[in-house]
Amino acid sequence: MTRVPWTKDFPDAFVNAPWASGDKRVATLSSHALYQSAKGERNLEAAIAIVDDLYSRECVLSLVDYVEGLGGRPKIVSPSCQPGDSNNALAIGYAEWLSHEFDWDVETEIFQQKTISRDKSPTWRRIANRCEFYGQIDKGASYVIVDDVITTGGTLADLRSFIHRKGGTVIAVSAIASREGRPQKIRLGDDIRADLERFYGNDLGRFCHDHLGFSHECFTDGEAYAVRGCSGYVDLGKKILRARDARHARRSA
């Protein structure tokens, strides 16, 4: 299923805390005492406790104010696998925490296809290999996607596109953590899009569609900066191919 282009008013991702910090006084997701239980043992209570400790009042209130400003009552969805396919309960825990605090319903009928974990995958392996989802959505509903960590945002972009193609609407995304712990642009920015089009020329949309399954207009902001860092089409094609070969090698192993 191809990606859906971004709307110009799509907000930055609402982020609560940093993933890590050189300052040991700063509370981070990766250093939390319950991190392994939530991430590696699918302990939902541990995941909710982590959110209790790390949530940012500013982040959460900004998210609620934004959602309420659009009217209606959203559903929360996370890019989570079914039990037995993943040991990570962090995204589900964040969804349940928001549901308890603000009486938003959690979508329980959408799941991410089981694949090799992308958690420690380098940027190009994330760009070249799409996330796939399955399940039923509430057509016409507004959704807020939540995840444990946002990096390039590709997983969130793929889930957003799945929901839109099925008849729903994604109005915002949020994460427990990002690298810096600050709001993060996820939609493709106008400046980097224009820079890509100047650098690569008129064939960029077709090249991306042929090699990635979607136009460059569907990149996240982080993905676009990685693509701009290539020296040209040959370099871009090689990075995509190598990333796919690396993923196939890991799956075979």
User: Do residues 59 and 31 share a domain?
Assistant: yes
User: Do residues 171 and 194 share a domain?
Assistant: no
Residue 244: inside a domain: yes
| Token pair of 157 as six digits | 């972009």
User: Do residues 239 and 196 share a domain?
Assistant: yes
User: Do residues 51 and 167 share a domain?
Assistant: yes
pLDDT digits (tens, 9 = 90+) for 38-81: 999 999 999 999 999 999 999 999 999 999 999 989 999 999 99
pLDDT digits (tens, 9 = 90+) for 99-145: 999 999 999 999 999 875 555 568 999 999 989 999 999 998 999 99
Residue 143: inside a domain: yes
pLDDT digits (tens, 9 = 90+) for 205-236: 999 999 999 999 999 999 999 999 999 999 99
* Number of structural domains the chain divides into: 2
User: Do residues 147 and 207 share a domain?
Assistant: no
User: Do residues 98 and 173 share a domain?
Assistant: yes
Output the pLDDT for position 124: 93
User: Do residues 139 and 161 share a domain?
Assistant: yes
> SS3 for the chain, per residue?
CCCCCCCCCCCCEEEEEECCCCCCCCCCCCCCCCHHHHHHCCCHHHHHHHHHHHCCHHHHHHHHHHHHHHCCCCEEECCCCCECCECCCHHHHHHHHHHHHHCCEECCCEEECCCCCCCCCCHHHHHHCCCCEEECCCCCCEEEEEEEEECCCHHHHHHHHHHHHCCCEEEEEEEEEECCCCCECCCCCHHHHHHHHHHHCCCHHHHHHHHHCCCHHHCCHHHHHHHHCCCCHHHHHHHHHHHHHHHHHHHHC
| Token pair of 244 as six digits | 């796919």
CATH of residue 22: 3.40.50
CA–centroid distance for 81 within its chain: 14
Residue 102: inside a domain: yes
Residue 147 to residue 215: CA distance in whole angstroms: 25
Residue 185: inside a domain: no
User: Do residues 248 and 224 share a domain?
Assistant: yes
User: Do residues 22 and 110 share a domain?
Assistant: yes
Residue 94 to residue 60: CA distance in whole angstroms: 11
Residue finishing a domain among 150, 178, 206: 178
Residue 92 to residue 101: CA distance in whole angstroms: 14
User: Do residues 81 and 19 share a domain?
Assistant: yes
Residue 184: inside a domain: no
Output the pLDDT for position 2: 87
Name the amino acid, one letter, at 90.
L
User: Do residues 167 and 194 share a domain?
Assistant: no
Q: Which domain holds residue 140?
A: 14-178
Residue finishing a domain among 122, 156, 178: 178
pTM: 0.93
Residue 1: inside a domain: no
User: Do residues 58 and 143 share a domain?
Assistant: yes
Residue finishing a domain among 130, 148, 178: 178
